[in-house]
Chain A
Amino acid sequence: MSSPSIGAEPPYAGAPPDGEQGRGRAYLVTAMFLAPAAILLSVWILYPLIYTIWRSFYDSSGAHFIWLDNYKTLFSTDTTRTAIKNNAIWVAVVPALVTAIGLVFAVLTERIRWSVAFKIAVFMPMAVSLFAAGVIWRIMYQQEPSRGALNAVSAAVVDRVKQPGPLSDAFPSGTKLTGTPQTGIVLKTPVRPGSVALLPLTGIPPDQVPAGSVQARQPAPKAGAITGAVWRDFKPGGGTPGKLEKGEVGLPNVTVVLRDSSGKSIGSTTTGPDGRFVFAGVKPGAYRTAIGSATFRQPYGGVAWLGAKLINPAIMIAYIWVWAGFSMVVIAAGLAAIPRDTLEAARTDGATEWQVFRRVTVPLLAPVLSVVFITMLINVLKVFDIVLSVAPSSVQANANVIALAMWRTSFGGVNDFGLGSAIAVFLFLLVIPVLALNVRRFRREV
């Protein structure tokens, strides 16, 4: 039409219908390309989106429109409130930590020769399902130091610093002793120089009898000294409690403390193989003999990772273990894209490594860091499988998160589709800012 030679234009007879037809056919081809995706996305995502929003305004039976009541329940029930509170902690802690760890790893691996091997090691858990990762960490978190690797490591350290006592399970035999293993076990009656203090203990299993112990012997009284014995007051067939008999062994290496009348410790000694001990050169007066609490110190029992108090940090550690590799690899790629000259220029100008990192590297990486952070934010909001596999059922209520509460409410026995829908919508509302961000980024690109 804009042709300069309108009059000379030859009749274009067949063209318009042909073009129309051609365009029609082109649209048909386009529709064929798009139809399968359009159908699936409409039926599995768009329709459910609308249905779930609509359903969230109805009660559990679906018959009564209750407006916002499900949302009120969501914020007033303990279960869901715990879930929201826990998820808030997740959001506050995990994305920032994963991003920071990834950044540190990416920067550090730049300086070593075996960075590829390191990256594969850290990245590997990405291939493992979050569910299996949970199983892996549940094994790591077993409480007894003999079974759980984490507690075994801490026990090795703690038991070295505070050695467990030789007789951690013993308790007094007979009625003449008082006190607890925590405070030390004391003879009820005072002793004076020249008298004998008998300290019988029981509750010592045969395998805990110290090596090298021999038949216990009755100590002889000695002037100016307090003598006594500590022994295992048990022999096959029984025996009399409090009485030193044949077949009962002495307990060596037990720390015995001498206290004056005010309770102050004035001396200590250890027992011999037959359980005997001597405090020599004791001034006249009334004293007390006690077995110190160190003798009864329990070995380190381990941290209750899977208990109610620590279950959330425990799950988060497992989760960070999985995702740190993702963060590291994405940030390392961003780091590789930073022009070397920029960093070198800063170094030539006399900047320290820390200044280069803080003032040049991190600002240049900001876009990459924000991508990692936002990705983790979305992931953390939807956290589900790993909670189910790390947390034993007894503490799952303490570890509840929004996605888990949604599933429990809808399919875990309660089967309240109204409240379940409301929880899902709440989750959806939380990710909408991210959705808006993605859309804006795309529009800028186009």
Chain B
Amino acid sequence: MATATAAAAGEEAVVVPDPREKTSARILRILAKGPLNILLIIIAVFWLVPTIGLFLTSLMSANDFANFGWWKVASNPHLATWNNYSNLIHHTNIPSSLWVTIQIAVGGTVLPIIIASLAAYAFAWLEFPGRDWTFIIVIGMLVVPLQMALIPIFSLYNHLHLFDTVFGLILFHTAFGLPFAIFLLRNFFIGIPKDILESARIDGASEIRIFLRLILPLGLPAIASLAIFQFLWTWNDLLVALTMARNTQPLTVAIFSNLRQFGSNIDLIAPAAFFSLAIPLVVFLAFQRYFVQGLLAGSVK
């Protein structure tokens, strides 16, 4: 939405000419934009090329990578091969890592959303003593570095047998996703018109009913933005999985363990890395609108 508004505003500035402007002045103005357009095209290319480079590298054998750059593949398509990808699927642990990543990302997205929307509803619309200062504590937790939790949770997981389990990783991501999720949803829920809630309460609806039938459907846009954030965050995590698991390796950790021999493992690293970023990229492009909304609503993290 924000991009759309900005675009509309930009278009307005371009299209609507000053009525007093002379034709010559207008031509001059358009000409003056030439360098700007070229500059911006160069910048856009600079932003796109590295990812394209990764994709083309993922189509090269390790031998080719030692001899020439990925741009050779663009000009000589016969150098490209899908072998790396078929190797990846048939002969490595990457598919099982993908499954781990999917479990973590889905669990680490759904669970915090459920828990946070319950809490956010309480913070927004239920009266209880100490509501404001408990919410301030939640806001304080927004910036607590997760490094603060690594050592104690590592020890705790060893005692609880949660070490090296997908569930343990999901719980960690859920807890550290909660402050932001509660903050975002509470601020959204509080904007829901009071009359709707009051009339539902007078009609005798229970709080749980109100939550399920009113708040959740009305809060859907905020929940969608949150879901995308949380999904990208858990999908892309390296630190937590590296610390709290050993054999339960999500994609990032699996790639990390091959990084030491970068050159000779490139035929695994590049396709796996591309694999790991293709899915979040699709999610991002499909739900970009919600992503930007969430970003604007909660860029305090």
Contact = CB atoms under 8 A, between A and B. Distances in A.
A12 interface: no
Interface residues on B, range: 35 or more
A127 B118 contact: no
B277 A113 contact: no
B75 interface: no
Contacts of B151: 48, 51-52, 55, 410, 417, 420-421, 424
Given A30-B126, A381-B145, A118 B284 contact: no
A115 B12 CA distance: 12
Contact of A48 (B53, B70, B153, B232): B153
Contacts of B50: 136-137, 139-140, 149, 321
B225 to A, nearest CB: 13
Contacts of B178: 37, 40-41
A40 B175 CA distance: 5
Contacts of A52: 148-149, 151-152
B3 A371 contact: no
Nearest to B128: A30
A131 B238 contact: yes
A116 B7 contact: yes
Nearest to B11: A113
B123 to A, nearest CB: 8
A45 B141 contact: yes
Interface stretch (B92-100, B192-200, B256-264): B256-264
B7 A115 contact: yes
A115 B51 CA distance: 20
B119 A33 contact: yes
A135 B243 contact: no
A388 B256 contact: yes
Contact of B36 (A111, A329, A393): A111
A152 B255 contact: no
A111 B6 contact: no
A111 B33 CA distance: 8
A147 B40 contact: no
Interface stretch (B83-91, B216-224, B288-296): B288-296
A118 B69 contact: no
Given A118-B44, A329-B295, A382 B152 contact: no
Interface in B248-301: 252, 255-256, 259-260, 262, 266, 269-270, 273, 276-277, 280-281, 283-285, 288, 291-292, 295-296, 299-301
B5 A132 contact: no
A105 interface: yes
Interface residues of A, number: 105
A425 B143 CA distance: 13
A424 B273 contact: no
Interface string B121-159: 110001110001001101111111101111111101000
B279 to A, nearest CB: 9
B3 A119 contact: yes
Given A44-B175, A113-B14, A129 B301 contact: no
B36 A382 contact: no
A51 B144 contact: no
A152 B10 contact: no
B165 to A, nearest CB: 15
B63 to A, nearest CB: 12
A446 B115 contact: no
A336 B36 contact: no
Main SS of the interface on chain A?
Answer: helix
A378 to B, nearest CB: 6
B57 A139 contact: yes
Contacts of B262: 138, 392
Contacts of B299: 326, 330, 371-372, 375
B256 A438 contact: no
Contacts of A41: 138, 141, 175, 178-179
A354 interface: no
A51 B148 CA distance: 9
B202 interface: no
Nearest to B51: A136
Contact of A146 (B9, B68, B179): B68
A128 B9 contact: no
Contacts of B67: 146-147
Contacts of B142: 435, 438
A343 to B, nearest CB: 9
A417 B156 CA distance: 14
B112 to A, nearest CB: 9
A333 to B, nearest CB: 4
Interface string A332-362: 1101100010000000000000000000000
A137 B135 CA distance: 40
A411 B284 contact: no
B82 to A, nearest CB: 19
Contact of B139 (A125, A423, A427, A438): A438
B148 A424 contact: yes
A441 B187 CA distance: 14
B281 A34 contact: no
Contacts of B44: 117-118, 121-122
A158 interface: no
A49 B145 CA distance: 10
Nearest to A446: B132
Nearest to B296: A333
A142 interface: yes
A417 to B, nearest CB: 5
Given A34-B119, A146-B67, A428-B144, A411 B149 contact: no
Contacts of A118: 40, 43-44
Nearest to B173: A44
B140 A111 contact: no
Given A30-B122, A129-B252, A427-B147, A332 B51 contact: no
A29 B236 contact: no
A335 B256 contact: no
Interface in B152-188: 152-154, 156, 171-172, 174-176, 178-179, 182
A336 B2 contact: yes
Given A131-B252, A335-B9, 5 more contacts: A41-B175, A128-B236, A146-B68, A336-B9, A417-B151
Interface of A: 26-27, 29-30, 32-34, 36-38, 40-41, 43-45, 47-49, 51-52, 55, 105-106, 108-113, 115-132, 135-140, 142, 146-149, 152, 321, 324-326, 329-330, 332-333, 335-336, 340, 371-372, 374-375, 378, 381-382, 384-385, 388-389, 392-393, 403, 406-407, 410-411, 417, 420-421, 423-425, 427-428, 431, 434-435, 438-439, 441-443, 446
17 contacts: A40-B115, A47-B152, A48-B153, A52-B152, A108-B36, A108-B39, A109-B6, A112-B36, A118-B40, A128-B236, A147-B65, A147-B68, A382-B147, A385-B239, A403-B147, A407-B150, A420-B150
